[in-house]
Amino acid sequence: MEDDGDRIGDDFGGDQGHAEEEDLEGLRCVSLSEAFVIMEERQKVSPVAEKNAEMFRLYKKYTEEFQKFRNSMTLKQLRDRLVNYEISADGRKLNDYEAAMLMNLIPRTAQEAIEMLPQLKRCDEAKIAEIVKHLEKSQHSQE
Q: How many CB atoms lie within 10 A of CB 108?
A: 11
- Per-residue model confidence as pLDDT tens digits over 42-99: 989 988 888 889 999 999 999 999 999 998 899 999 999 999 999 888 999 999 999 9
- Per-residue model confidence as pLDDT tens digits over 119-136: 999 899 999 999 999 999
Alpha helices in the chain (DSSP H): 4-11, 32-45, 53-66, 72-84, 96-105, 110-116, 125-141
Measured CA to CA, the distance from residue 126 to residue 132 in angstroms comes to 10
pTM for the structure as a whole:
0.78
- pLDDT level of residue 4 (50, 70, 90 thresholds): very low
- pLDDT level of residue 34 (50, 70, 90 thresholds): very high
Measured CA to CA, the distance from residue 16 to residue 24 in angstroms comes to 14
